[in-house]
Amino acid sequence: MEDLKREGHDFASSDAGDMAGDAMMGNVRPALNLLVVLFGMWLLWSGHYTTQLIGFGLVSCLGVVLLCWRMGIVDREALPLDLTWRTLRYIPWLTLEVVKSNIDLAKRVLSPRLPISPQLVELQATQKTDLGRITFANSITLTPSTVTIEARRDGRFVVHALAHEIAQDLRNGEMDRRVSRLEKVEKPESAS
Amino acid sequence: MAGALDVLSWACLLTGSFFALVSSLAMLRLPDFYSRVHGASITDTMGAGLILLGLVFQAGFSLVTVKLALVLMFLVITGPTASHALAKAAYRLGLEPVIGPEEEESPSQT
Amino acid sequence: MINLGLIDVVLLAFLVAITWAIIQLRDLFAAVMLTGIFSLISACLFMVMDAVDVAFTEAAVGAGISTVLMLRTLALTSGRSNPRFNRLELAPLLVVIAIGAALVYGTFDMPRYGDPQAPIHTYMAPRFIEQSGDEVGIPNIVTSVLGSYRSYDTFGETTVVFTAVIGVFLLLSDPRRGRRAGDALRDDIILRIGTKALVPFIMVFALYVQFHGDYGPGGGFQAGVIFAAAIVLYTLVFGLARAEKIFRRRRLELLVAGGVLLYGTVGVVSMALGGNFLDYSVLAHDPVHGQHLGILLIELGVGITVAAVMVSLFFLFVRRRQV
Amino acid sequence: MFAAAMVAILVSMAMLLVRAVKGPTVFDRILSVNSFGTKTVLLIAVLGFLAGRPAFLDLALVYALMNFISTIAVLKFTRFGSLAGERSLAGEHSRPTEPQAAET
């Protein structure tokens, strides 16, 4: 809740981002996670299992993790592994929403009358972390007929919706609640 | 069994192609930039998803399946990110969206 | 293959339409966008002709890096083409028509596409196809040819890249440049997290392309460009100032030279071991292993040089003061 | 069946081409190019199966990748007039933080 009190201006928040950039140094766990995932990807993608190539893969992944560490982009945000299990329950729901929305949009586009009425919707998202807000924002964008235009750190969203009732659905906030539930168990980390 | 898979795969490919077409049609028909973003995101989700799924059924379970899944995952991550960045940039630069009437029934402009 | 024939025709028609549109448009930004589409379609054409390695390069360079550089150039000029050049000039038109006619006439003498009797298919190609498996021992013949049989050419090409970038360094490195720190797009949380998540995977993919050139399409050149693209993405989102702290100019310059040097060293070492320049067979106890090692090393050299060159070029263009 | 998918993708590419040429705003063009890139990825994947060479998928991934990066680059260009983003962030181009057309 304290999070929401902060004045949210997106542009001014770059300082906070900078601090996050320095604070993430010394965070070993995400680096190990990244290494494991990258190496797993290498094995899946490669398909050639000679000692030489696996060796190259290991060296490559290690090198990339070190470089990314130096670049300051290795942190929990980038690879939210611990969210995965709860996310797995969210993905089917989202997929269904996306499919429904696709069919609805296709009907609108194919109808000769073109029954649309674009709206701008302002929302107050209830997620407490950057990652949660991003999940929400991307879920909105992934669903055709809604696009996130602004996603501010204080949770104020501006969304473009293609029709009145789609905007109404969004205001009802089911997606918001579901995404918020994803981060429920976490300790509410203040955004870095 | 193989026949059923084939039918499934064809159905996916055809539906996916249909959505790809609808997406482009939406890009042509919808009245302004912001609504066209919705059209583009049909390709990113249903179009790509179904076509790649159709190919997965063709490939059976192999490394190719994994690669297809990863390509799809990549598209699903980058698609919305790019759409959002684009819409945001347009909004920040002051491109005004066409706002439709509140009631659903009235015909839209343009 | 009726389907592929159809695809050829459609894609070529697209190319013609785009070219026409590019000529007609006065808005240079729109022209750059259309050039991007042009290169996407050309790469599809390469694919249809089964030239996967070429399509790979076109994808990496044409669709990605060159758009960025063109946009950057556009930022230094005005956004519209000069209407003065809009008039129809007779003399240039005649010259263009004459040259075009000569070229078309020239194609009459060329063998049909895919003709097995064409000279190019009867001269060296059969030997490469039949013997590269025994001599070089690598499934991807393109890599065998580029990396081993024609490694002189490839060495030359790498040197050309090296020389070109030295020219650009001399032209664009303005010591009086105004350094302005830009925070870039980092304030956008969505873009920031997306980039954080993607960059490591892009880099690993680049290295995959680097080391799997033996088996599939790819190799040092493509890998270098993809790796550079990851750094470009990072720079775009996190800002030039931060990127330059990690990829220091001095180090990039060393890498640009280092890659070419690695390539050349392989050649010199093979001479020292009693072979010809760039004859890898002497590098190990049995020739096939030697070939493997040689190709691996020179591809690595090419990759390093290309990646460093691309990143340096990008930094130079971005740093350039707006006139 | 691959052929049908191919034809559909080609036709939709043609429609996107029209949008890219017509504009009218820069954003429409960028959007068209981005969508065109996605269609290219799909076309390459389908072509790979048609030609029986699923190795094409590596290429499809490169396309998806380059498409994303060039879209971001183009965006930076239109937002700040330069890739480094030097122009002041709250400068002439940013709009007031309050959206004008909000819901009632």
Q: Which residues of C touch D47 (CB under 8 A)?
A: 7, 44, 47-48
Overall domain count for chain A: 2
Q: Which residues of C touch B78 (CB under 8 A)?
A: 194, 198
Domain shared by A54 and A16, yes or no? yes
Q: Which residues of C touch A17 (CB under 8 A)?
A: 186-187, 192
User: Cα(D49)–Cα(C276) distance, rounded to whole angstroms?
Assistant: 43
Query: Which of the four pLDDT bands, split at 50, 70 and 90, describes residue C94?
Result: very high
Concatenated DSSP letters of A66-104: HHHHHHT--STTTS-GGGHHHHHHHHHHHHHHHHHHHHH
A191 occurs within a structural domain: no
User: Cα(C114)–Cα(C76) distance, rounded to whole angstroms?
Assistant: 45
Domain shared by A31 and A90, yes or no? no
A91 burial level (CB within 10 Å; 0-12, 13-18, 19+)? exposed
Total number of residues shown for chain B? 110
Nearest beta carbon to residue A138 from set C190, C242, C243: C190
Q: What is the pLDDT of residue A19?
A: 41
What tokens appear for C102 in the block? Answer: 């000569």
Query: Which of the four pLDDT bands, split at 50, 70 and 90, describes residue C84?
Result: low
Domain shared by A65 and A105, yes or no? no
Highest mean pLDDT pick, A122-136, B38-52, C78-92, D30-44 = D30-44
D54 occurs within a structural domain: yes
Q: Which residues of A touch C199 (CB under 8 A)?
A: 68, 71, 73
More confident position, A67 or C115: A67
Query: Which of the four pLDDT bands, split at 50, 70 and 90, describes residue A10?
Result: very low
More confident position, B44 or C265: C265
Mean pLDDT of B3-14: 86
Nearest beta carbon to residue A145 from set B32, B38, B104: B38
A19 occurs within a structural domain: yes
Which ipTM score applies to this complex? 0.82
C305 burial level (CB within 10 Å; 0-12, 13-18, 19+)? buried
Mean pLDDT (chain B, rounded) = 81
Q: What is the pLDDT of residue C72?
A: 73
D89 occurs within a structural domain: no
D99 occurs within a structural domain: no
Q: What is the pLDDT of residue B91?
A: 83
D45 occurs within a structural domain: yes
A154 occurs within a structural domain: yes
More confident position, D24 or C15: C15
Spatial CB neighbours of D102, under 8 Å, sequence gap ≥ 6: A120, A122
Overall domain count for chain B: 1
Chains with at least 3 CB pairs less than 8 angstroms from chain A: B, C, D
Q: How far is CA C116 from CA A165, A180, C124, C149, D51, in A?
A: 63, 64, 13, 22, 19
Range of the domain at A15: 2-71
Mean pLDDT of C261-268: 87
Q: What is the pLDDT of residue B102?
A: 58
Domain shared by A93 and A40, yes or no? no
A50 occurs within a structural domain: yes
B30 occurs within a structural domain: yes
Locate tokens 């490169």: which residue?
Answer: D62
Query: Which of the four pLDDT bands, split at 50, 70 and 90, describes residue C185?
Result: low
More confident position, A27 or A89: A89
Reference D58, options D44, D72, D40; nearest CA is D44
Range of the domain at D35: 2-80
Q: What is the pLDDT of residue C308?
A: 92
Range scoring the smallest mean pLDDT among A97-101, B103-107, C139-143, C231-235: B103-107
Q: How far is CA C319 from CA B79, C199, C303, in A?
A: 29, 22, 24
* Shortest CA gap B66–chain D (Å): 10
A58 occurs within a structural domain: yes
Total number of residues shown for chain D? 104
Q: What is the pLDDT of residue A176?
A: 82
A190 occurs within a structural domain: no
Domain shared by A64 and A149, yes or no? no
Q: Tell me whether residues D5 and B16 touch, CB distance under 8 A.
A: yes
CA dihedral C157, C158, C160, C166 (to 10 degrees): 170
A50 burial level (CB within 10 Å; 0-12, 13-18, 19+)? exposed
Overall domain count for chain D: 1
**Looking at A14, A44, A71, which one is the last position of a domain?**
A71
Mean pLDDT (chain C, rounded) = 80
Q: What is the pLDDT of residue D88?
A: 30
B8 occurs within a structural domain: yes
User: Cα(B74)–Cα(D3) distance, rounded to whole angstroms?
Assistant: 25
C171 burial level (CB within 10 Å; 0-12, 13-18, 19+)? exposed
pLDDT digits (tens, 9 = 90+) for A69-80: 888 888 776 666
Inform me whether the pLDDT recorded for C82 exceeds 80: no
Ranges of each domain in chain C = 1-110, 140-323
| Nearest residue of chain A to residue C186 (CA atoms) | A14
Q: Tell me whether residues C191 and B81 touch, CB distance under 8 A.
A: yes
Q: What is the pLDDT of residue C81?
A: 65
Domain shared by A24 and A98, yes or no? no
Domain shared by A146 and A87, yes or no? yes
User: Cα(D73)–Cα(D70) distance, rounded to whole angstroms?
Assistant: 5
Chains with at least 3 CB pairs less than 8 angstroms from chain D: A, B, C
Q: How far is CA C66 from CA C71, C314, D66, in A?
A: 8, 10, 11
Range scoring the smallest mean pLDDT among A35-49, A171-185, B21-35, C284-298: A171-185
Q: Work out the number of other CB atoms within 10 angstroms of the CB of residue C213.
A: 28
Is B75 in the D-facing interface, judged by CB distances under 8 Å? yes
A146-151 vs A119-124, strand pairing mode: unpaired
Reference B43, options B27, B58, B31; nearest CA is B27
B64 occurs within a structural domain: yes
Locate tokens 């930022």: which residue?
Answer: C75
B21 occurs within a structural domain: yes
**Taken in order A38, A39, A40, A44, is the CA torsion positive or negative?**
positive
pLDDT digits (tens, 9 = 90+) for D57-76: 888 888 888 888 888 888 87
| Nearest residue of chain C to residue B80 (CA atoms) | C190
A122: helix, strand or coil: strand
Q: Tell me whether residues B85 and C197 touch, CB distance under 8 A.
A: no
**Looking at A27, A49, A71, which one is the last position of a domain?**
A71
pLDDT digits (tens, 9 = 90+) for D87-96: 333 333 333 3
A152 occurs within a structural domain: yes
Range of the domain at B70: 2-92
pLDDT digits (tens, 9 = 90+) for A94-139: 888 888 888 888 888 888 887 878 888 888 888 777 778 888 888 8
User: Cα(B42)–Cα(C250) distance, rounded to whole angstroms?
Assistant: 46
Query: Which of the four pLDDT bands, split at 50, 70 and 90, describes residue C97?
Result: very high
Nearest beta carbon to residue D103 from set A9, A14, A121: A121
Inform me whether the pLDDT recorded for C111 exceeds 90: no
